[in-house]
């Protein structure tokens, strides 16, 4: 088992806020991991440490045995795909310009770019005639697909997604969840996904990592989190997110 990410004793402060407090995490190549936890628990910060977007105040972070340092991590970042809410698309570029931005920067031949774009449109199930549109002319779900295409363009080894479906309504969200799962499986890439929705996490990822106040509380499958919670907080977090159908069956449920 090769670990593609190896984080040891990571500490990160923002002024007086302790965002990450001694976090150690190792992610095996080819697996999918979901970072869960309530808002402010440090999920996004952890993802940015992996990307080398923020400097840490302690500990070491490695990607394939290379230390991730924000100043020198441009080449590393090109091996990672990063998707944020709403896709983080550049408004002044069309869909295809957004997706091909890095490939153009790396001087890919036009033919190669065109072929890769076609592949990605097919993979994410977005009709190709959207290529010339600007982000403001797309729906939220479409923007998310474009963001995913942009992240996948250079065939990254890992895909880092920060609440990619956070801003979508339930039906589109469910559609995209299924599409995402298929894509993850077909790619076989390593996936790190941030979400605060535990069922989405369990649906899309093999392993869950629960964060609370900058610390990892438990690391395991959903079944492990439910059956042998590492602390009362784990149970509280899991129970707080029961499905609406469940609450129909037990109307006296406490929240």
Ligand X SMILES: Nc1ncnc2c1ncn2[C@@H]1O[C@H](COP(=O)(O)OP(=O)(O)O)[C@@H](O)[C@H]1O
Contacting positions for ligand X (CB under 6 A): 14, 17, 19, 37, 39-45
Chosen residue from 1, 39, 65, 74 binding another protein by CB under 8 A: 74
Which residues have C-beta within 8 Å of that of residue 107, sequence separation ≥ 6?
none
Partner interacting with residue 145 (select from Mg ion, ligand X, another protein, none; CB below 5-8 Å by kind): none
Residues numbered 116-175 forming contacts with another protein, rule: CB under 8 A: 134-136, 150
CA distance 23 to 11: 7
Window contacting another protein (CB under 8 A); options: 78-86, 182-190, 200-208, 227-235: 78-86
Which residues have C-beta within 8 Å of that of residue 248, sequence separation ≥ 6?
none
Q: Which is nearer to another protein, 59 or 70 (CB)?
A: 70
**Number of residues near Mg ion (by CB under 5 A):** 1
CB of 168 to ligand X, least distance (A): 18
Report if residue 91 touches another protein, rule: CB under 8 A. yes
CA distance 48 to 55: 9
Rg (CA), the chain: 19
Query: Which position's Cβ is nearest Mg ion?
Result: 44
Residues numbered 188-247 forming contacts with another protein, rule: CB under 8 A: none
CA distance 176 to 149: 13
Residue 220: how many other CB atoms lie within 10 Å: 17
Report if residue 80 touches another protein, rule: CB under 8 A. yes
Q: Which is nearer to another protein, 85 or 218 (CB)?
A: 85
Chosen residue from 53, 174, 187, 230 binding another protein by CB under 8 A: 53
Chosen residue from 2, 15, 65, 75 binding another protein by CB under 8 A: 75
CA distance 31 to 3: 10
DSSP state string for 60-112: EEEETTEE--GGG-HHHHTTEEEEEGGGG--TTS-HHHHHHHHHHHTT--HHH
CA distance 144 to 120: 13
Rounded to 5 degrees, what angle do the CA atoms 38, 90, 198 make? Answer: 20
Q: Which is nearer to ligand X, 58 or 132 (CB)?
A: 58
Report if residue 44 touches Mg ion, rule: CB under 5 A. yes
Chosen residue from 30, 40, 59, 88 binding another protein by CB under 8 A: 88
Residue 222, CA distances (Å) to 127, 227, 255 in order? 35, 9, 20
Partner interacting with residue 37 (select from another protein, Mg ion, ligand X, none; CB below 5-8 Å by kind): ligand X
Q: At what angle do helices 95-105 and 110-124 cross, to 10 degrees?
A: 130
Kindly list the residues in this chain that would bind another protein in the complex (CB under 8 A). Answer: 48, 51, 53, 73-78, 80, 82, 84-85, 88-94, 101-102, 105, 134-136, 150
């Amino acid at each position: 088992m090769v670990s593609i990410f190896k984080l040891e004793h990571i500490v990160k402060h923002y002024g007086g806020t302790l965002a990450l407090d001694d976090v150690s995490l190792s992610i095996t190549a080819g697996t999918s991991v979901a970072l869960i936890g309530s808002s402010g628990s440090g999920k996004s910060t952890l993802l940015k440490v992996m990307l080398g977007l923020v400097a840490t105040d302690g500990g070491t972070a490695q990607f394939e045995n290379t230390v991730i340092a924000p100043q020198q991590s441009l080449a590393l970042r090109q091996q990672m795909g990063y998707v944020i809410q709403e896709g983080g698309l550049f408004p002044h570029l069309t869909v295809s310009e957004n997706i091909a931005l890095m490939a153009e920067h790396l001087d890919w031949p036009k033919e190669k770019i065109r072929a890769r774009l076609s592949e990605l449109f097919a993979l994410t199930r977005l009709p190709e005639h959207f290529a010339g549109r600007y982000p403001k002319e797309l729906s939220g779900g479409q923007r998310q697909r474009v963001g995913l295409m942009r992240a996948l363009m250079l065939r990254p080894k890992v895909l880092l997604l920060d609440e990619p479906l956070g801003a979508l309504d339930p039906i589109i969200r469910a559609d995209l969840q299924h599409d995402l799962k298929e894509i993850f499986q077909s790619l076989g890439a390593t996936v790190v996904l941030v979400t605060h929705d535990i069922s989405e996490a369990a649906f899309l990822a093999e392993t869950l990592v629960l964060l609370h106040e900058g610390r990892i509380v438990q690391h395991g499958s959903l079944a492990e989190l439910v059956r042998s919670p590492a602390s009362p907080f784990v149970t509280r977090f899991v129970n707080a997110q029961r499905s609406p159908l469940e609450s129909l069956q037990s109307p006296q449920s406490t929240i």
